[in-house]
Amino acid sequence: MIKINDIEIPMYPSSYDDSPSVVKTDSYAIDGSLERQQYPSKKQVKMSFPMANPSVYAFFNAFFEGESAVKFYNDTSKYGVLEFTGIITACNPSEYIRGGSLLFPLEITIREV
């Protein structure tokens, strides 16, 4: 069960990736040697909904536009129970085509704070 702020999401994603985000930067030192700065990994979730409807978008967009972090919970993660406080960093709906079925692809990314 996937929840955001203790509310079950209205539709389950067709694609789900909860691999941690690792940030590394490589740069050259003044003597020409290569340096790597690696920061601690952060929990991250990417979800894809190929057939989202406006109410699913409105659910995620309310958290995306909100000012506070969200509490993410998934008890069926490949890592066991995945629970963290994060920010929805991407809520990207594809273009809506007028006169269509009202369904559109939606990408959601939540990253640990």
Per-residue pLDDT of the chain (113 residues; tens, 9 = 90+): 999 999 999 999 999 999 999 989 999 999 999 999 999 999 999 999 998 998 999 999 999 999 899 999 999 999 899 999 999 999 999 877 666 678 889 999 999 99
> Tokens in use for 68?
């506070």
pLDDT of residue 26: 94
Phi, psi dihedrals of residue 33, rounded to the nearest 5°: -80, 155
Q: What is the pTM of this model?
A: 0.84
Q: What is the per-residue pLDDT for 102?
A: 81
Select from 86, 112, 100 the least CA-distant residue to 52.
100
First-to-last C-alpha distance (Å) of the chain: 22
pLDDT at position 99, please? 67
Six-digit token pair at 94? 């594809």
- The rounded distance, in Å, linking the Cα atoms of 93 and 106 is 4
